[in-house]
Amino acid sequence: MLHAADDLLVERGFAALTIEGIAQRAGVAKQTIYRWWKSKVDILLDTLTDDAREALEWRVDEGGSVEEALTSHLQRVADFFEEPAGQVLQALLGHAQLDGDTAASLRAGFLREQRERDLIGLRDLLARDQGLIVDDRSLGHLVDLLLGPLYYRVLVFGSPIDKGLVDTTSRLVLALAREPAAEDS
């Protein structure tokens, strides 16, 4: 059912996605879907959470430098936006602008959980750089600076994230993390 929802969203868009269509594609009755989810938004939130957990996973122990590992992670984020799960996130974020319940569910679930993973992942990655540890407030700012340009490119301009943006963002965020002032802001 989750795969059916993903596929139909990509094929038809959020507005045309229906419980009936998901049930038909999955080969189940509508009642089966309604036993587990109350709306298409709930189905999409579940599929997003499942798909994003692996796709947006931080791989802190990758070989190479901290900058290479950070750039690799940002490229995975960029690639995620091109996948069906990334299109689900885009659709949910768009719908959340018009629907307060969707916004609240998205923020309380997926976005909060992903934010925690991003904070932990960046903190652990920075700790590889001669033990650099950034306070929680600065770490939150660095996560915003790290991911903000990627989300902006995709959500505001509807453009793919190119390698230049990934490389520049990685380099600039690491430069800020290494500045003594980054800990005081």
Arithmetic mean of pLDDT, 59-81: 91
CATH 3.90.25.10 fits 40-183, yes or no: no
What is the Cα–Cα distance from 171 to 182, expressed in whole angstroms? 15
Contact 127, 133 (CB under 8 A): yes
Has residue 67 got a pLDDT over 60? yes
Contact 5, 22 (CB under 8 A): yes
What is the Cα–Cα distance from 106 to 112, expressed in whole angstroms? 8
What is the Cα–Cα distance from 111 to 100, expressed in whole angstroms? 15
The tokens 């490229």 sit on which residue?
75
Of 85, 90, 16, the residue nearest 51 (C-alpha): 85
Confidence grade of residue 183 (pLDDT, cut at 50, 70, 90): very low
Q: pLDDT for 5-51, tens place per residue?
A: 888 888 888 888 889 889 888 899 888 888 998 999 999 999 999 88
Mean of all residue pLDDT scores within the chain = 90
Confidence grade of residue 185 (pLDDT, cut at 50, 70, 90): very low
Has residue 159 got a pLDDT over 90? yes
Buried b (16+ CB within 10 A) or exposed e, 100-119: eebbebbeeebbeebeeebb
